[in-house]
């Protein structure tokens, strides 16, 4: 059946005629615009924390566009890679700007993603019915880490080479399959030209395609269930007050209200982003390490190897997992099991199952070496985020209506996360390792004990409608 074409007056303007011509031939685009922009109603009380989602999308576009221009001149060859980056920086017109936009964009991406995830953490944006939105977001974070790690090798500088060597070697700690797994990742027995080609292929083609697909899925899932807000009140709930058109009385169209609202965040972000690019692109060695301006030398190991700052919290957890730390894990498991057996009201069979599981866990902890458990801890620090919707048992979503001591709990969590990030850059010492171990225990305790502490205290009543002040 042929589609019905809408007619337009012959006296209409050229713009109206072109618009009508497009509407008749591509109505899906106009329907999508309505669903996701002009007729997508979002809560009217968004604050500055809600800038970071759109900023993450902006940085993704910056990374893709600048990456395309860098690929035009980059040579994925161990003998030529470093020289091709220098060629881009020195001889390609505006090449230095493109390269600095891309390198600064990588750090900016993690800044806005970390802040975006923290917003979800404090306002409960991972709670029902947005579990899938959160899972897509965590998967984006995981893919972003893979993308950044593979891209970090491409300049073929000293820190790129040795950082990749250290991280890939971690996979060899996996029992039974570790050596073969690390060999498969490298494509050789050492980080070499084969590794560079593999990482280049994944960084430029495979991971970006997955990343774009996940971002689309993340946005579609969000718009299906509706956005959360600082009050944690669902304006799409069936019993929420509606206007004559059936929209929530406390919702406003995303366009033009939030599209213009986000432009303010974009303007501020671009000013800061440009200031870093033009005045401090290395940012004291945190965004671009000084060792990475030296060509990769497999025969000369840098005195201190550390990943880029956005990986260092998890790298700190890896280094903090020593034999004494494993013994602490065993003691914690034993104490938790004893409490469950003697104090809980579980059935005898459930208690017996807990004791057996704890015994197996302790045997496994003592069987494999600390290096392997360090890899498990580092990976677990990311994987545990996926389970957050089922760990939080608080009766309210937003931190606004939780007990006041929750502010301190979340604040200490942020402080320890920043401390872990700093310690991951610094050379290890006995005192720093101890501090990293405390931070690691707090990080995992925050999430693993959440089913218990999230229900404690006196919760304030949540208003029937969202609160908003101009």
| Binding-site residues for a ubiquinone | 223
Q: Annotated binding site: which residue ranges?
A: 102, 116, 203, 218, 223
> How far is the C-alpha of 182 from the C-alpha of 110, rounded, in Å?
26
Place of tokens 């920086």: 89
Buried b (16+ CB within 10 A) or exposed e, 409-439: bbeebeebbebbbebbbeebeeebbebbbeb
**Is the Cβ–Cβ distance between 464 and 235 less than 8 Å?**
no
What are the binding residues for heme b? Answer: 102, 116, 203, 218
Burial category of 91 from C-beta neighbours within 10 Å (exposed 0-12, middle 13-18, buried 19 and up): exposed
Question: Do residues 207 and 143 make contact, with C-beta atoms less than 8 angstroms apart?
Answer: yes
Of 81, 75, 103, which is closest to residue 310 (Cα–Cα)?
103
Own/partner contacts of 211-216, CB < 8 Å, gap of 24 or more, are 211/60, 211/140, 211/143, 211/144, 211/147, 212/60, 214/136, 214/139, 214/140, 214/143, 215/57, 215/60, 215/140
Q: Is 9 left (phi over 0), alpha (psi -120 to 50) or beta?
A: beta
């Amino acid at each position: 059946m042929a589609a019905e074409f809408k007619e337009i007056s012959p006296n209409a303007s050229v713009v109206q005629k072109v618009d009508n011509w497009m509407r008749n031939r591509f109505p899906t685009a106009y329907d999508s615009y309505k669903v996701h922009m002009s007729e997508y109603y979002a809560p009217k009380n968004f604050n500055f924390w809600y800038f970071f989602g759109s900023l993450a999308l902006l940085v993704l576009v910056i990374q893709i566009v600048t990456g395309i221009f860098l690929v035009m001149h980059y040579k994925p060859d161990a003998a030529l890679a470093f020289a091709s980056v220098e060629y881009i920086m020195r001889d390609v017109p505006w090449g230095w700007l493109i390269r600095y936009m891309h390198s600064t964009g990588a750090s900016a991406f993690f800044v806005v993603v970390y802040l975006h995830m923290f917003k979800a953490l404090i306002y409960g944006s991972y709670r029902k019915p947005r579990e899938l939105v959160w899972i897509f977001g965590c998967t984006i974070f995981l893919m972003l880490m893979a993308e950044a790690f593979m891209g970090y090798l491409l300049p073929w500088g000293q820190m790129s080479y040795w950082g990749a060597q250290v991280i890939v070697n971690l996979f060899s700690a996996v029992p039974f399959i570790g050596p073969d797994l690390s060999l498969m990742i490298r494509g050789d027995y050492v980080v070499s030209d084969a590794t560079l080609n593999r990482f280049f292929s994944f960084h430029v083609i495979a991971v970006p395609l997955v990343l774009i697909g996940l971002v689309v899925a993340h946005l579609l899932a969000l718009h299906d269930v509706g956005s959360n807000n600082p009050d944690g009140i669902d304006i799409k709930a069936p019993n929420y007050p509606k206007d004559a058109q059936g929209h929530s009385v406390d919702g406003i169209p995303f366009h033009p209200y939030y599209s213009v609202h986000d432009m303010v965040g974009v303007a501020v972000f671009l000013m800061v982003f440009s200031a870093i690019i033009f005045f401090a692109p290395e940012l004291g060695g945190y965004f671009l390490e000084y060792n990475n301006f030296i060509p990769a030398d497999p025969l000369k190991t840098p005195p201190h190897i550390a990943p880029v700052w956005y990986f260092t919290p998890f790298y700190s957890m890896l280094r903090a997992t020593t034999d004494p730390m494993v013994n602490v894990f065993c003691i914690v498991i034993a104490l938790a099991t004893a409490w469950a057996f003697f104090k809980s009201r579980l059935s005898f069979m459930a208690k017996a199952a807990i004791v057996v599981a704890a015994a197996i866990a302790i045997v496994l902890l003592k069987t494999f070496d600390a290096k392997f458990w360090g890899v498990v801890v580092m990976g677990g620090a990311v994987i545990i985020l996926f389970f957050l919707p089922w760990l939080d048992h608080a009766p309210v979503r937003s931190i606004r209506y939780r007990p006041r001591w929750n502010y301190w709990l979340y604040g200490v969590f942020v402080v320890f996360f920043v401390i872990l990030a700093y310690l991951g850059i610094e050379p290890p010492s006995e005192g720093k390792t101890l501090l990293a171990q405390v931070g690691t225990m707090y990080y995992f305790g925050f999430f693993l004990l959440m089913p218990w502490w999230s229900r404690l205290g006196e919760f304030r009543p949540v208003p029937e409608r969202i609160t908003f002040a101009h």
